[in-house]
Protein backbone atom coordinates (compact mmCIF):
# COMPACT_ATOMS: atom_id res chain seq x y z
CA UNK A 1 0.00 0.00 0.00
CA UNK A 2 1.14 3.54 -0.65
CA UNK A 3 1.54 5.66 2.44
CA UNK A 4 -0.89 8.44 1.57
CA UNK A 5 -4.14 6.51 1.79
CA UNK A 6 -6.57 7.87 4.36
CA UNK A 7 -8.54 5.61 6.67
CA UNK A 8 -11.40 7.51 8.26
CA UNK A 9 -12.58 6.75 11.78
CA UNK A 10 -16.18 5.57 12.25
CA UNK A 11 -17.17 8.94 13.75
CA UNK A 12 -16.06 10.58 10.48
CA UNK A 13 -18.14 8.27 8.31
CA UNK A 14 -21.26 10.28 9.00
CA UNK A 15 -19.56 13.40 7.61
CA UNK A 16 -18.79 11.50 4.42
CA UNK A 17 -22.40 10.34 4.23
CA UNK A 18 -23.81 13.83 4.74
CA UNK A 19 -21.65 15.38 2.01
CA UNK A 20 -22.41 12.58 -0.43
CA UNK A 21 -26.15 12.62 0.26
CA UNK A 22 -26.30 16.36 -0.37
CA UNK A 23 -24.55 15.72 -3.68
CA UNK A 24 -27.11 13.03 -4.51
CA UNK A 25 -29.95 15.45 -3.72
CA UNK A 26 -28.35 17.94 -6.09
CA UNK A 27 -28.28 15.31 -8.84
CA UNK A 28 -31.96 14.57 -8.27
CA UNK A 29 -32.69 18.31 -8.36
CA UNK A 30 -30.99 18.55 -11.77
CA UNK A 31 -32.80 15.59 -13.23
CA UNK A 32 -35.86 17.38 -14.60
CA UNK A 33 -33.74 20.11 -16.22
CA UNK A 34 -31.38 17.88 -18.21
CA UNK A 35 -33.37 17.67 -21.44
CA UNK A 36 -33.41 19.01 -24.98
CA UNK A 37 -33.42 22.81 -25.23
CA UNK A 38 -31.36 23.69 -22.16
CA UNK A 39 -27.80 24.95 -22.43
CA UNK A 40 -25.02 23.41 -20.41
CA UNK A 41 -24.37 26.84 -18.88
CA UNK A 42 -27.96 26.93 -17.62
CA UNK A 43 -27.43 23.55 -15.96
CA UNK A 44 -24.22 24.91 -14.43
CA UNK A 45 -26.14 27.86 -12.99
CA UNK A 46 -28.70 25.51 -11.45
CA UNK A 47 -25.88 23.48 -9.86
CA UNK A 48 -24.24 26.61 -8.51
CA UNK A 49 -27.38 28.22 -7.11
CA UNK A 50 -28.68 25.04 -5.44
CA UNK A 51 -25.31 24.36 -3.83
CA UNK A 52 -24.65 27.88 -2.59
CA UNK A 53 -28.23 28.40 -1.39
CA UNK A 54 -27.76 25.40 0.92
CA UNK A 55 -24.56 26.89 2.34
CA UNK A 56 -22.20 24.54 0.50
CA UNK A 57 -19.48 24.90 -2.14
CA UNK A 58 -19.21 23.53 -5.70
CA UNK A 59 -15.85 21.75 -5.60
CA UNK A 60 -14.90 22.19 -9.25
CA UNK A 61 -15.28 25.98 -9.32
CA UNK A 62 -11.73 27.31 -9.39
CA UNK A 63 -10.20 23.87 -8.84
CA UNK A 64 -6.84 23.99 -10.65
CA UNK A 65 -8.36 26.86 -12.64
CA UNK A 66 -11.53 25.06 -13.77
CA UNK A 67 -14.03 27.87 -14.48
CA UNK A 68 -17.42 26.28 -13.69
CA UNK A 69 -19.38 24.60 -10.90
CA UNK A 70 -19.72 21.23 -12.65
CA UNK A 71 -18.42 19.27 -15.64
CA UNK A 72 -20.82 18.52 -18.50
CA UNK A 73 -19.61 16.20 -21.26
CA UNK A 74 -21.70 15.60 -24.39
CA UNK A 75 -21.43 12.67 -26.83
CA UNK A 76 -17.75 12.23 -27.77
CA UNK A 77 -16.55 14.33 -24.81
CA UNK A 78 -15.14 11.86 -22.27
CA UNK A 79 -14.82 14.16 -19.24
CA UNK A 80 -14.10 17.69 -17.99
CA UNK A 81 -16.47 19.37 -20.44
CA UNK A 82 -16.84 23.07 -19.61
CA UNK A 83 -20.44 24.34 -19.48
CA UNK A 84 -21.15 26.98 -22.12
CA UNK A 85 -23.91 28.07 -24.49
CA UNK A 86 -24.15 24.64 -26.14
CA UNK A 87 -27.79 23.51 -26.15
CA UNK A 88 -28.70 19.86 -25.53
CA UNK A 89 -30.57 18.27 -28.41
CA UNK A 90 -32.60 15.14 -29.02
CA UNK A 91 -30.35 12.11 -29.38
CA UNK A 92 -27.46 13.43 -27.26
CA UNK A 93 -25.97 11.56 -24.36
CA UNK A 94 -24.62 13.88 -21.69
CA UNK A 95 -22.61 13.22 -18.54
CA UNK A 96 -23.13 15.59 -15.62
CA UNK A 97 -20.34 15.34 -13.03
CA UNK A 98 -20.96 17.14 -9.74
CA UNK A 99 -18.90 17.42 -6.56
CA UNK A 100 -19.96 19.26 -3.41
CA UNK A 101 -18.01 20.43 -0.37
CA UNK A 102 -20.18 20.18 2.76
CA UNK A 103 -18.53 21.45 5.96
CA UNK A 104 -15.12 20.52 4.57
CA UNK A 105 -16.10 17.07 3.28
CA UNK A 106 -16.48 16.04 -0.37
CA UNK A 107 -19.18 14.08 -2.20
CA UNK A 108 -18.65 13.22 -5.87
CA UNK A 109 -20.72 11.48 -8.55
CA UNK A 110 -21.74 11.57 -12.18
CA UNK A 111 -24.48 10.22 -14.41
CA UNK A 112 -24.91 9.96 -18.16
CA UNK A 113 -28.36 11.13 -19.29
CA UNK A 114 -30.16 10.13 -22.47
CA UNK A 115 -31.71 13.17 -24.17
CA UNK A 116 -34.98 12.05 -25.76
CA UNK A 117 -34.72 9.17 -28.20
CA UNK A 118 -31.12 8.06 -28.70
CA UNK A 119 -29.62 5.48 -31.03
CA UNK A 120 -29.43 1.84 -30.01
CA UNK A 121 -25.64 2.20 -30.04
CA UNK A 122 -25.76 5.09 -27.57
CA UNK A 123 -28.26 3.33 -25.29
CA UNK A 124 -26.17 0.17 -25.17
CA UNK A 125 -22.98 2.11 -24.39
CA UNK A 126 -24.71 3.89 -21.50
CA UNK A 127 -26.13 0.60 -20.21
CA UNK A 128 -22.80 -1.21 -20.30
CA UNK A 129 -21.05 1.69 -18.57
CA UNK A 130 -23.69 1.76 -15.82
CA UNK A 131 -23.54 -2.02 -15.40
CA UNK A 132 -19.74 -1.99 -15.24
CA UNK A 133 -19.82 0.40 -12.29
CA UNK A 134 -22.09 -1.87 -10.26
CA UNK A 135 -20.23 -5.02 -11.26
CA UNK A 136 -17.10 -3.41 -9.82
CA UNK A 137 -18.84 -2.31 -6.62
CA UNK A 138 -20.30 -5.78 -6.12
CA UNK A 139 -16.92 -7.43 -6.70
CA UNK A 140 -15.09 -5.75 -3.81
CA UNK A 141 -15.06 -6.43 -0.09
CA UNK A 142 -12.88 -5.38 2.87
CA UNK A 143 -9.30 -6.21 1.97
CA UNK A 144 -9.89 -6.35 -1.78
CA UNK A 145 -7.16 -4.89 -3.95
CA UNK A 146 -7.76 -1.99 -6.30
CA UNK A 147 -6.73 -4.13 -9.27
CA UNK A 148 -9.92 -6.18 -8.84
CA UNK A 149 -11.96 -3.10 -9.83
CA UNK A 150 -9.95 -2.66 -13.01
CA UNK A 151 -10.14 -6.33 -13.91
CA UNK A 152 -13.93 -6.52 -13.57
CA UNK A 153 -14.61 -3.36 -15.61
CA UNK A 154 -12.00 -4.07 -18.28
CA UNK A 155 -13.01 -7.69 -18.84
CA UNK A 156 -16.72 -6.88 -19.01
CA UNK A 157 -16.37 -3.86 -21.29
CA UNK A 158 -13.74 -5.14 -23.70
CA UNK A 159 -15.59 -8.41 -24.24
CA UNK A 160 -18.48 -6.30 -25.53
CA UNK A 161 -16.18 -4.29 -27.79
CA UNK A 162 -15.83 -1.07 -25.79
CA UNK A 163 -12.70 0.92 -25.03
CA UNK A 164 -11.90 1.55 -21.35
CA UNK A 165 -10.37 5.00 -20.84
CA UNK A 166 -6.95 4.72 -19.22
CA UNK A 167 -5.81 8.32 -18.79
CA UNK A 168 -8.41 9.16 -16.10
CA UNK A 169 -9.38 7.18 -13.04
CA UNK A 170 -11.23 7.10 -9.75
CA UNK A 171 -9.59 8.36 -6.58
CA UNK A 172 -9.64 8.54 -2.83
CA UNK A 173 -11.89 11.30 -1.48
CA UNK A 174 -13.02 12.73 1.85
CA UNK A 175 -11.47 15.81 3.39
CA UNK A 176 -9.75 16.40 0.04
CA UNK A 177 -11.02 16.15 -3.53
CA UNK A 178 -8.36 13.70 -4.70
CA UNK A 179 -6.24 11.42 -2.51
CA UNK A 180 -4.67 7.99 -2.80
CA UNK A 181 -5.46 5.39 -3.84
CA UNK A 182 -5.92 5.97 -7.54
CA UNK A 183 -8.63 3.66 -8.89
CA UNK A 184 -7.80 2.64 -12.48
CA UNK A 185 -10.62 1.08 -14.46
CA UNK A 186 -8.31 -1.41 -16.16
CA UNK A 187 -5.70 -3.71 -14.57
CA UNK A 188 -2.59 -1.71 -13.68
CA UNK A 189 0.54 -3.36 -12.35
CA UNK A 190 1.05 -2.25 -8.75
CA UNK A 191 -2.61 -1.64 -7.96
CA UNK A 192 -2.82 -5.15 -6.53
CA UNK A 193 -0.83 -3.76 -3.60
CA UNK A 194 -3.43 -1.05 -2.84
CA UNK A 195 -5.93 -2.64 -0.47
CA UNK A 196 -9.42 -1.34 0.23
CA UNK A 197 -9.74 -1.37 4.01
CA UNK A 198 -12.66 -0.37 6.25
CA UNK A 199 -12.70 3.41 6.60
CA UNK A 200 -11.37 4.11 3.11
CA UNK A 201 -13.51 6.33 0.87
CA UNK A 202 -13.03 6.46 -2.90
CA UNK A 203 -14.75 6.89 -6.24
CA UNK A 204 -15.31 4.36 -8.99
CA UNK A 205 -16.08 6.17 -12.25
CA UNK A 206 -15.61 4.09 -15.40
CA UNK A 207 -15.46 5.91 -18.72
CA UNK A 208 -16.25 3.65 -21.67
CA UNK A 209 -15.88 4.57 -25.32
CA UNK A 210 -17.74 3.16 -28.32
CA UNK A 211 -14.41 2.90 -30.12
CA UNK A 212 -10.80 3.32 -29.05
CA UNK A 213 -9.86 3.91 -25.42
CA UNK A 214 -7.52 6.68 -26.51
CA UNK A 215 -8.42 10.29 -25.80
CA UNK A 216 -7.26 13.78 -26.77
CA UNK A 217 -7.32 16.92 -24.65
CA UNK A 218 -8.56 20.16 -26.17
CA UNK A 219 -5.53 22.43 -26.23
CA UNK A 220 -7.66 25.54 -26.64
CA UNK A 221 -9.20 25.25 -23.16
CA UNK A 222 -6.86 22.77 -21.43
CA UNK A 223 -9.75 20.75 -19.99
CA UNK A 224 -12.16 19.17 -22.47
CA UNK A 225 -11.23 15.55 -23.19
CA UNK A 226 -12.62 13.81 -26.29
CA UNK A 227 -12.39 10.33 -27.75
CA UNK A 228 -9.56 10.16 -30.27
CA UNK A 229 -11.86 8.70 -32.94
CA UNK A 230 -14.79 11.04 -32.13
CA UNK A 231 -17.03 8.11 -31.15
CA UNK A 232 -19.37 8.28 -28.17
CA UNK A 233 -18.25 8.06 -24.54
CA UNK A 234 -20.25 7.46 -21.35
CA UNK A 235 -19.47 7.57 -17.63
CA UNK A 236 -21.07 6.83 -14.27
CA UNK A 237 -19.54 7.55 -10.86
CA UNK A 238 -20.32 6.91 -7.22
CA UNK A 239 -18.52 7.70 -3.98
CA UNK A 240 -17.94 4.49 -2.02
CA UNK A 241 -17.13 3.95 1.67
CA UNK A 242 -15.60 0.60 2.55
CA UNK A 243 -17.08 -0.71 5.81
CA UNK A 244 -16.46 -3.96 7.70
CA UNK A 245 -19.58 -5.33 5.98
CA UNK A 246 -18.54 -4.27 2.48
CA UNK A 247 -18.84 -1.27 0.15
CA UNK A 248 -21.46 1.36 1.01
CA UNK A 249 -22.57 3.55 -1.91
CA UNK A 250 -22.77 7.04 -0.40
CA UNK A 251 -24.14 8.89 -3.45
CA UNK A 252 -27.19 6.79 -4.33
CA UNK A 253 -30.02 9.04 -5.49
CA UNK A 254 -33.72 8.61 -4.70
CA UNK A 255 -34.93 9.38 -8.23
CA UNK A 256 -32.05 8.21 -10.38
CA UNK A 257 -31.14 4.82 -11.81
CA UNK A 258 -30.74 2.15 -9.14
CA UNK A 259 -28.64 -1.02 -9.39
CA UNK A 260 -30.11 -3.21 -12.13
CA UNK A 261 -31.73 -0.28 -13.98
CA UNK A 262 -32.42 -0.75 -17.69
CA UNK A 263 -32.07 2.32 -19.88
Residues 181-234 pLDDT 10s: 999 999 999 999 999 999 999 999 999 999 999 999 999 999 999 999 999 999
185 in a labelled binding site? no
48 in a labelled binding site? no
Whether residue 41 is predicted with pLDDT greater than 80 in this model: the reply is yes
Would you place residue 3 in the very low, low, confident or very high pLDDT band (cuts 50, 70, 90)? low
97 in a labelled binding site? yes
Q: What is the pLDDT of residue 255?
A: 97
Q: What is the pLDDT of residue 2?
A: 47
Q: Please compute the mean of the pLDDT values over residues 97-119 and round it to a whole number.
A: 98
Q: Please compute the mean of the pLDDT values over residues 92-104 and round it to a whole number.
A: 98
Pick from 92, 105, 134, 156: nearest CA to 237: 134
Backbone angles phi, psi at 247, to 5 degrees: -75, 135
Pick from 187, 201, 185, 212: nearest CA to 129: 185
Would you place residue 245 in the very low, low, confident or very high pLDDT band (cuts 50, 70, 90)? very high
> Range with the lowest mean pLDDT among 123-127, 173-177, 202-206, 217-221?
217-221
Q: How many angstroms separate the CA atoms of 73 and 97, rounded?
A: 8
Residues 68-90 pLDDT 10s: 999 999 999 999 999 999 999 99
Question: Percent of the chain at pLDDT above 90?
Answer: 98
Q: Whole-angstrom distance between the N-terminal and C-terminal Cα of the chain?
A: 38
The mean predicted confidence, pLDDT, of the chain is 97
120 in a labelled binding site? no
Q: CB under 8 Å to 107, separation ≥6 — which residues?
A: 16, 19, 20, 21, 22, 23, 24, 99, 100, 239, 250, 251
Would you place residue 1 in the very low, low, confident or very high pLDDT band (cuts 50, 70, 90)? very low
CA 27 from chain centre, in angstroms, equals 12
Would you place residue 5 in the very low, low, confident or very high pLDDT band (cuts 50, 70, 90)? confident
Q: Please compute the mean of the pLDDT values over residues 105-127 and round it to a whole number.
A: 98
Pick from 93, 43, 77, 87: nearest CA to 221: 77
Question: Percent of the chain at pLDDT above 70?
Answer: 98
171 in a labelled binding site? yes
What domains does the chain contain, in order, with CATH numbers? Answer: 10-249 (3.90.230.10)
Amino acid sequence: MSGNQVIYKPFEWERLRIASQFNAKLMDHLRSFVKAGISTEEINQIVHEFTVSHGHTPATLGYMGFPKSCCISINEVVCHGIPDETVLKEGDIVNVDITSIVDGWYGDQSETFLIGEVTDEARKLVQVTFDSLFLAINAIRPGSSVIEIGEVIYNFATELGYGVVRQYQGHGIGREFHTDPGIPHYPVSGSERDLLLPGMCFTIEPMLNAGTWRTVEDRSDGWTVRTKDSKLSAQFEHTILMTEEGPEILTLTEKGPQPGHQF
